[in-house]
Chain A
Amino acid sequence: MAGFRALFRGLGRAAVPCRTLTLSHARCQHEFTSLEEKPQFPGASAEFVDKLDFIQPNVIAGIPIYRVMDRQGQIMNPEEDPQLPREKVLKFYRTMTLLNTMDRILYESQRQGRISFYMTNYGEEGTHVGSAAALDDTDLVFGQYREAGVLMYRGYPLDLFMSQCYGNSTDPGKGRQMPVHYGCKDLHFVTISSPLATQIPQAVGAAYAIKREKTDRVVICYFGEGAASEGDAHAGFNFAATLECPILFFCRNNGYAISTPTSEQYRGDGIAARGPGYGLMSIRVDGNDVFAVYNAIKEARRRAVAENQPFLIEAMTYRIGHHSTSDDSSAYRSVDEVNYWDKQDHPISRLRHYMLSKSWWDEEQEKSWRKKSRKMVMEAFEQAERKLKPHPDNMFLDVYSEMPASIKKQQESLWRHLKIYGEHYPLEHYEK
């Protein structure tokens, strides 16, 4: 254990001077002097050792979890207090709770068969808002699917969340993807896709291109601890380090990938412990502490831009809701376990404690905000439900930048078909 920790620190130290000297790669190369009794292997920079000793992973006392406030919303170390102004903290709170309200209503609407699918964000609202707040608004976001709070923090309208879930005529995605696969070009949030982890190496490529633009932007890439098992995660971490990209890898470790607990996902010290192996600066934070998340991202962002190097942030959370509306999580975990996180250690209630202690919030405001946010969501919901679906021609557009003759022919053939058999199709629900 000690051996591994020493290695971890040593690596961190070695990495810094090399990068600040802007040695582009070939880190710490030796002069080639074969006569010396020093290792000359090109693959690593290390001393010889004359005793057989396997490096043992440290999983019992893992990388510590950085925290700013306790479960009662009390700042633990004043030096770490980001001292955010009241307005900003209120925005955190309103975003988290508005997302929570939207989640409840859309979850219910799926139960009633009004939308086909939904995924809630219960328990992970703090990771979204804390990280989004520490970014610049033009930083490019690549996500997995449980990061709607990032879009919400950036001001994505409720109407458009709903439009996407309903696949109606105002959905910017033109009704082609399943619900919660949001995207927004103006808010620099790259459209979500279902294949897990594919966005990780993509985010690295985007960070490389952004580095060449010299615009002081970063890319942030979110993924769950389950997705981190995909080959694409390995690809992304390694490329980001060797190609020196300004990217923040943000892992939401919520304990489960659908039904699979982390004990069946990995045997190392979570995801954060993998970072040093790739030469990534890494940290683990309390994902239910919005200030801890904020601080970590703020500092990682600053350094990623300045040093063109990647950072890995593992936010420890708990997935309070079911994986999705197609999953009943009571089949593989206890209600007590879920209740603990919902009642005892929730990012929203923790921030509320903080605001109460600052006298920035009270029961009255809580009540009226709940009412107001519910009304806003319901209004958007009802509007979205009333709208028609996009014109069926949208099925054929955007496959390519221009429609090839073959697809044009297929489009014409559909319309010839509908002319005769139209009554057997739900044409009345689609734009004409």
Chain B
Amino acid sequence: MASAGLRILLCRRAAVSSGCERLLPLRRMGPCRQPQRRAVAHFTFQPDPEPTQYGPTQKMNLFQAITSALDNTLSRDPTAVIYGEDVAFGGVFRCTVGLRDKYGKERVFNTPLCEQGIVGFGIGVAVAGATSIAEIQFADYIFPAFDQIVNEAAKYRYRSGNLFNCGSLTIRAPWGCVGHGALYHSQSPEAFFAHCPGIKVVIPRSPVQAKGLLLSCIEDKDPCIFFEPKILYRAAVEQVPVEPYYIPLSQAEVLQEGSDVTLIAWGTQIHVIKEVATMAQEKLGVSCEVIDLRTILPWDLETVCKSVVKTGRLLISHEAPVTGGFASEISSSVQEECFLNLEAPIARVCGYDTPFPHIFEPFYIPDKWKCFDALRKMINY
């Protein structure tokens, strides 16, 4: 992966994405008289109520919640190490800021720029029994490590008859669209991994969820991939417990109960379908049940089917391309389990079967209007 420089540049831009005022004077000097209006975000982050059961909370955005989870882990587990490209100075998304100073350079360190090496190294650390937390700088660059993840990490315990395992490995990676990330800073590769028995794949929707799910991944006895919706790193802010807490894996969460249709998504897309649920209520008088799947593999079929048995309709939405996307798996499983309850074909509102484009991003993503329209047609079926 040659473009480390580009990656840093991009995320620094992401960091100031909402504060472009400084650039405006320059733009006026250019040929365009009217400064281009930046597309508004395709979602509105909706924080959950403050969790009170885990002790004191602090206002954190998603990257700070990640740092907090990593901090909790390093302080309680002396074997735990964090490594990857550029994590030592705090990471290109600031997720590891301060950890090296606090825990030492032997525990928080940069690796050479080589994803297959990072994951292979991480497997080895875990095989030796230590807690191993790898960072892949963007989910788009996880593919060089695909062999180490699919052929090695996922199969370690099985192939050795449980003599060896790499269960203490967690791989974190920024994930999902970011407004201007184009082909290689926008991908959602979860479906590639969903076809691989032996790993767990987890995606949070918010800071509270991110910390609780990440801590569960780190302590889980199986290798986990934790995808962090990078568009939420700064945009999502809520009250997050300071002390460690756990949100169970392989459990979907019903965020909003409803009776007419079930909406399923994960990551940022949760905030899109929550808004769609409100639109459906207001414009169509339709009651939506909203489910955050949270864990892609192994996923919570039971919660999903329970909901569909009740509502009789299902819409699944994800940013990734539709063909071979994880919605296919959910859709066919629900169809098998809930055939007698389904009153309409299951709808999938996903990215198109193209690479993720740069200037066409607003047209590419499965935004609330696309989801709303598919829902409207499904209701009228």
* Residues of chain A having any CB pair with chain B under 8 Å: 24, 140, 142, 171-174, 176-177, 181, 183-185, 190-191, 193, 195, 198, 200-210, 212-213, 231-232, 234-236, 238-239, 242-243, 397-402, 404-407
The list of the 7 closest CB pairs from A to B, nearest first, reads A205-B124, A201-B120, A235-B117, A209-B128, A401-B221, A191-B160, A202-B124
Nearest CB of chain B from residue A292's CB, rounded to whole Å: 28
B111 and A183 contacting across the interface, CB-CB below 8 Å = no
User: Per a CB cutoff under 8 Å, which of A184, A200, A405 touches B301?
Assistant: A405
Which B residues lie within 8 Å of A236 (CB)? 117, 120
A193 and B152 contacting across the interface, CB-CB below 8 Å = yes
A181 and B159 contacting across the interface, CB-CB below 8 Å = yes
Which B residues lie within 8 Å of A201 (CB)? 116-117, 119-121, 123-124, 148
Nearest CB of chain B from residue A132's CB, rounded to whole Å: 19
A243 to B125, CA, bound (A): 13
Q: How many A-B residue pairs have CB under 8 A?
A: 160
B53: Cβ under 8 A from any A Cβ: no
Stretch at the interface among B25-33, B163-171, B342-350: B163-171
A235 with B114, Cβ < 8 A, contacts A190-B164, A203-B124, A400-B198 known: yes
| Closest B residue, CB atoms, query A142 | B124
A45 to B297, CA, bound (A): 48
Number of B residues near A (Cβ < 8 Å) is 50
B147 and A206 contacting across the interface, CB-CB below 8 Å = no
A243 and B111 contacting across the interface, CB-CB below 8 Å = yes
User: Per a CB cutoff under 8 Å, which of A177, A184, A208 touches B121?
Assistant: A208
Which B residues lie within 8 Å of A171 (CB)? 161
A399 and B121 contacting across the interface, CB-CB below 8 Å = no
| Closest A residue, CB atoms, query B158 | A398
Query: 30 A-B contacts, Cβ less than 8 Å apart?
Result: A142-B124, A172-B161, A174-B161, A183-B160, A185-B163, A195-B147, A195-B151, A201-B124, A204-B124, A205-B120, A205-B121, A208-B121, A209-B81, A210-B128, A212-B81, A212-B106, A235-B112, A235-B114, A236-B117, A239-B114, A239-B121, A242-B111, A243-B121, A398-B158, A400-B221, A400-B298, A401-B157, A402-B221, A404-B298, A406-B298
A242 to B125, CA, bound (A): 16
A205 and B127 contacting across the interface, CB-CB below 8 Å = yes
Which B residues lie within 8 Å of A398 (CB)? 157-158, 161-162
Which A residues lie within 8 Å of B167 (CB)? 401
Nearest CB of chain A from residue B267's CB, rounded to whole Å: 21
Nearest CB of chain B from residue A417's CB, rounded to whole Å: 17
B124 and A176 contacting across the interface, CB-CB below 8 Å = no
B124 and A232 contacting across the interface, CB-CB below 8 Å = no
Per-position 1/0 for B217-237, Cβ under 8 A of A: 000011000000000000000
B366: Cβ under 8 A from any A Cβ: no
Which A residues lie within 8 Å of B125 (CB)? 205-206, 208-209
User: Per a CB cutoff under 8 Å, which of A193, A203, A401 touches B155?
Assistant: A193
B241: Cβ under 8 A from any A Cβ: no
A234 and B163 contacting across the interface, CB-CB below 8 Å = no
B114 and A191 contacting across the interface, CB-CB below 8 Å = no
B127 and A202 contacting across the interface, CB-CB below 8 Å = yes
B355: Cβ under 8 A from any A Cβ: no
A24 to B167, CA, bound (A): 29
| Closest B residue, CB atoms, query A198 | B152
A193 with B159, Cβ < 8 A, contacts A200-B120, A212-B130, A243-B109 known: yes
Which B residues lie within 8 Å of A399 (CB)? 157-158, 197-198
B116 and A176 contacting across the interface, CB-CB below 8 Å = no
Nearest CB of chain A from residue B134's CB, rounded to whole Å: 9
A204 with B159, Cβ < 8 A, contacts A198-B147, A232-B116, A405-B298 known: no
A5 to B125, CA, bound (A): 36
A181 to B159, CA, bound (A): 9
Which A residues lie within 8 Å of B198 (CB)? 399-400
A175 to B116, CA, bound (A): 29
Given contacts A204-B124, A398-B158, A406-B301, 12 further A-B contacts (CB under 8 A): A172-B161, A202-B127, A206-B128, A208-B124, A208-B125, A231-B116, A232-B117, A232-B148, A235-B121, A242-B111, A400-B200, A401-B167
List B124-149 residues whose CB lies under 8 Å from chain A.
124-130, 132, 144, 147-148
Which A residues lie within 8 Å of B156 (CB)? 191
Nearest CB of chain B from residue A27's CB, rounded to whole Å: 14
B157 and A183 contacting across the interface, CB-CB below 8 Å = no
Per-position 1/0 for B267-305, Cβ under 8 A of A: 000000000000000000000000000000011011000
Nearest CB of chain B from residue A120's CB, rounded to whole Å: 22
B79: Cβ under 8 A from any A Cβ: yes
B250: Cβ under 8 A from any A Cβ: yes
Nearest CB of chain A from residue B193's CB, rounded to whole Å: 14
A176 to B155, CA, bound (A): 11
B174: Cβ under 8 A from any A Cβ: no
B105: Cβ under 8 A from any A Cβ: yes
Which B residues lie within 8 Å of A174 (CB)? 161
Nearest CB of chain A from residue B307's CB, rounded to whole Å: 17
A238 to B120, CA, bound (A): 13
B160 and A173 contacting across the interface, CB-CB below 8 Å = yes
Nearest CB of chain B from residue A20's CB, rounded to whole Å: 19
B123 and A202 contacting across the interface, CB-CB below 8 Å = yes
A236 to B301, CA, bound (A): 40
User: Per a CB cutoff under 8 Å, which of A184, A207, A231 touches B124?
Assistant: A207
A204 with B121, Cβ < 8 A, contacts A183-B163, A232-B116, A238-B112 known: yes
| Closest A residue, CB atoms, query B199 | A400
Nearest CB of chain A from residue B272's CB, rounded to whole Å: 27
Nearest CB of chain A from residue B86's CB, rounded to whole Å: 14
A238 to B110, CA, bound (A): 13
| Closest B residue, CB atoms, query A207 | B124
Nearest CB of chain B from residue A300's CB, rounded to whole Å: 19
A234 with B152, Cβ < 8 A, contacts A205-B120, A208-B124, A406-B298 known: no
B111 and A405 contacting across the interface, CB-CB below 8 Å = no
| Closest B residue, CB atoms, query A164 | B161
Which A residues lie within 8 Å of B165 (CB)? 401
Which B residues lie within 8 Å of A207 (CB)? 124
Nearest CB of chain A from residue B133's CB, rounded to whole Å: 12
B298 and A140 contacting across the interface, CB-CB below 8 Å = no
A354 to B63, CA, bound (A): 65
Which B residues lie within 8 Å of A200 (CB)? 120
Which B residues lie within 8 Å of A142 (CB)? 124
A191 and B250 contacting across the interface, CB-CB below 8 Å = no
A234 to B147, CA, bound (A): 15
